[in-house]
Structure formats: structure tokens, C-alpha cells
């Protein structure tokens, strides 16, 4: 897939559609602006889709899964095996993302982009059940886990580019199937470590300021995690002006897949709801490659992770929700989809003053 051709097809949203949407919102039976950010969400969906009456009837949250060599450094409270185990949980419908996606009326697409096992060849009974249960599982495996970034690059540049291409391909495929809004999600033990490293490099902030506690590590492990990130940046010397170099040296496969999905969503004029810290690291990679992608993003929520606010400020995005979430998986994206759709329904279904026979403001 030619990334340059994808990038050349991404434009900023057209202000004429924002203006037209605002005119309709101002004609509805309410004081102007009284539904606050719900009106903002509707305007943005109209502008992204260039459709005066868009629909969000087909939704998908893409949960990208990958393992990380830096987990060997003891930076997470959970063992690496949990990545594989949680993929099975997603497929059997028992995870947080499954519950909240059902609530939002969204499909869940589980993408193996870098898990250190071969799910399709596995003989485990649990996986056999999962793969025949009607859940959507897609293998786009680029690596079997990344390298330990404390000792060298997480991926080669070609692998990083292939991760991005895999995400773009999924965006193209699901846009062609008629899906109207995408959400991003992740699963990968230790993936707050590369996400923190990406944040430090692309925002210029100190590692201590943007490194959080991930799965709930204690003070001693947090200090160790900070040092691991500093070592990884020193060893690999990622170029902050080259987002693909950053992704390759200190990133992760699922982060690259998320970046590609966002690029592909923008090229297809599909709104994309970005989940928490790890997903926003992917969004920051996409934005650094093509800043116009920002117009197509909704920030789902404000994570408890220390660096998330820094990334959102860099992107110029204001989160839909602030609920102290830090699970990942796409859970915040599913919840925010529900709210964004509510804003669009107000825009489409609420009566105008003329239709309702209600007197307008004098």
C-alpha cells in the first residue's frame, strides 16, 4: 500500500459544512448553543462526512493487540501472557470493551498485529470456542512481539511501516463495508512504556512528567520504568521530526496499527474516536505524519495516565468524557461514540422552530 497516496487524499474538513450544520442547529427549538458540546459533535460529524444528514448506524471499535519486548524489564504489574489471554476474553465477549460496545451498538474487531503467539494454529479449546462464537478476529500479524527497546529498536522501519499499512487497510475495508464511525482500542502488556516514550519524544516533555503507573505499579517499579524509558531513548535516539522512526525505535505494533487506522479513516472521511493513552500515542504518530488527521479525530476521554493530557494538548483535542478511566481496550471510545451519536440525533431529529410552530427569540 502506497502511504503517500493515502496521505495525498487527506484534506482538512470544509468549513462550509460546519457553517451549514451550525445554521440548522441554530434553527432548532432551543436557545442557541444550549446543548453545548453535543452541538459541536454534530457539526464535526457533518463536516467530516460532507453529508448534511449523516448516519452513524454502523460502528466498529478496533482493538489492536501486540506484545512488547520491554515487558522483560519488569515495567508492568502483569505478565506478558495476559496479552494472549485477554485476546481470548475479547473473543468470547467477556471483557469491558465487549460490554460497553454492546451498550453503544458497536461491533468489536480484535486485530492481532503483534501478539507473540499464533492464534490460528493454536489447539487450545478456549480459542477454538472464541473463533466459532461469532466474534470478529482478524490476523494482521507484523511481528511476534517487538524487540526490547531498552536494548535496541523495537521494530525495523519496514515493520513500523507495515503496521501503519495494516491499519490503513482495515480502515479502507470497513469504510467500503459501510461502517460510519471507528473507535480505536489496544491490548498489550507493558504498552504504556512505549506510549510514554513516544510522548516524551514528540512533545519534548521530561520522561518523569509524562510516565504513569499503567496497570498499577508501585513507586519502586515506576522509578525503574522511568529509567527504562530514558535508556530506550538514549540507546535508540529516535528522530522527533520523523514519526515513523519514532514508532520503529520506541513504539509498538498496536500503536502503529492505530496510527494507520486513523490515517485511513481520514482518507475515507470517517470519524474516528480515539480511546485513551495508548490509542492517543497512535493518534500522535498519525498527526505527526499528517496534521490534517486531527480534523477527523474525537478524543474519547481523559485518561488517568500522566502523559495523556500532554498528548491531547499537542493534538489540540478536548476529550468528550472525563471519568478517570485507564483500562484501554477501546472502552472509552465505545462510551464516547454513544455521546457523539446523541449529538447527531439532536441535530437530525429535533424539530426546528418553524416545524414545531414555536416562536423564536425576539
pLDDT of residue 123: 38
Closest residue by Cα to residue 244 from 276, 281, 288, 279: 288
Angle between helical axes of 253-267 and 157-176 (0-180°, round to 10):
40
User: Cα dihedral angle (14, 266, 322, 204), rounded to 10 degrees?
Assistant: -100
Helices (H), the chain: 3-8, 15-27, 36-49, 81-91, 96-104, 125-131, 157-176, 192-203, 207-210, 219-236, 243-250, 253-267, 277-289, 308-315, 331-349, 353-356
Residue 21, helix vs strand vs coil: helix
Q: Would you give the DSSP letter of residue 18?
A: H
Q: Locate 49 and state its grid cell.
A: 462526512
Question: Selecting from 3.40.50.10210, 1.20.140.10, 3.40.50.1370, 2.30.42.10, what CATH number does the domain 56-339 have?
Answer: 3.40.50.10210
pLDDT in tens, 21-74: 999 999 999 999 999 999 999 999 999 999 999 999 999 999 999 999 999 999
Residues 62, 170 contacting (CB under 8 angstroms) = yes
Q: How far apart (Å, rounded) are the C-alpha atoms in residues 152 and 135?
A: 36
The set of residues, in sequence order, having a beta carbon less than 8 Å from that of 293 and lying 6+ positions away, is 10, 262, 263, 266, 283, 286, 287
Grid cell 460529524 is found at 45
Show which residues are catalytic.
Answer: 329
Residue 60, helix vs strand vs coil: strand
Closest residue by Cα to residue 106 from 266, 299, 259, 271: 271
This prediction has a pTM of: 0.95
Q: How far is CA 305 from the centre of its chain?
A: 15
Q: How far apart (Å, rounded) are the C-alpha atoms in residues 34 and 322?
A: 20
pLDDT in tens, 281-297: 999 999 999 999 999 99
| 42-63 core/surface letters (b: 16 or more CB in 10 A; e: else) | bbbbbbbbeeeebebeebbbbb
CA atoms within 13 A on the CB side of 322: 5
Point out the residues of the chain with pLDDT beneath 50: 122-126, 132-134
Q: How far is CA 128 from the centre of its chain?
A: 28
Residues 27, 353 contacting (CB under 8 angstroms) = yes
Amino acid at each position: 500500500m502506497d502511504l503517500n497516496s493515502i496521505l495525498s487524499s487527506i484534506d482538512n474538513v470544509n468549513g462550509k459544512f460546519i457553517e451549514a450544520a451550525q445554521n440548522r442547529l441554530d434553527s432548532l427549538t432551543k436557545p442557541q448553543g444550549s446543548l453545548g458540546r453535543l452541538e459541536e459533535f454534530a457539526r464535526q460529524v457533518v463536516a467530516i462526512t460532507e453529508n448534511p444528514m449523516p448516519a452513524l448506524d454502523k460502528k466498529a471499535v478496533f482493538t489492536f493487540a501486540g506484545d512488547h519486548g520491554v515487558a522483560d524489564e519488569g515495567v508492568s504489574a502483569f505478565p506478558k501472557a495476559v496479552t494472549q489471554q485477554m485476546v481470548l476474553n475479547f473473543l468470547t465477549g467477556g471483557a469491558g470493551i465487549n460490554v460497553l460496545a454492546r451498550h453503544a451498538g458497536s461491533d468489536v474487531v480484535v486485530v492481532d498485529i503483534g501478539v507473540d503467539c499464533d492464534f490460528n494454529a493454536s489447539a487450545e479449546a478456549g480459542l477454538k470456542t472464541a473463533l466459532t462464537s461469532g466474534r470478529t478476529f482478524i490476523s494482521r500479524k507484523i511481528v511476534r512481539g517487538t524487540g526490547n527497546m531498552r536494548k535496541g529498536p523495537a521494530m525495523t522501519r519496514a515493520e513500523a511501516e507495515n503496521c501503519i499499512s495494516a491499519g490503513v487497510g482495515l480502515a479502507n475495508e470497513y469504510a467500503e463495508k459501510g461502517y460510519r464511525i471507528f473507535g480505536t482500542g489496544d491490548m498489550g502488556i507493558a504498552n504504556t512504556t512505549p506510549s510514554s516514550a513516544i510522548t516524551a519524544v514528540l512533545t519534548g516533555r521530561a520522561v518523569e512528567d509524562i510516565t504513569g503507573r499503567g496497570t498499577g505499579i508501585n513507586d519502586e517499579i515506576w522509578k525503574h520504568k522511568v529509567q527504562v524509558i530514558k535508556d530506550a531513548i538514549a540507546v535508540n535516539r529516535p528522530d522527533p521530526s520523523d514519526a515513523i522512526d519514532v514508532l520503529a525505535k520506541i513504539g509498538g505494533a498496536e500503536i502503529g496499527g492505530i496510527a494507520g487506522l486513523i490515517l485511513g479513516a481520514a482518507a475515507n472521511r470517517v470519524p474516528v474516536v480515539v480511546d485513551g493513552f495508548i490509542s492517543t500515542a497512535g493518534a500522535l504518530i498519525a498527526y505527526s505524519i499528517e496534521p490534517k488527521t486531527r480534523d477527523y479525530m474525537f478524543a474519547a476521554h481523559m485518561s488517568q495516565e500522566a502523559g495523556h493530557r500532554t498528548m491531547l494538548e499537542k493534538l489540540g483535542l478536548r476529550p468528550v468524557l472525563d471519568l478517570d478511566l485507564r483500562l484501554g481496550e477501546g472502552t472509552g471510545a465505545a462510551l464516547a461514540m454513544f455521546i457523539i451519536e446523541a449529538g447527531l440525533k439532536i441535530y437530525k431529529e429535533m424539530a426546528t422552530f418553524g416545524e414545531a410552530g414555536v416562536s423564536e427569540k425576539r
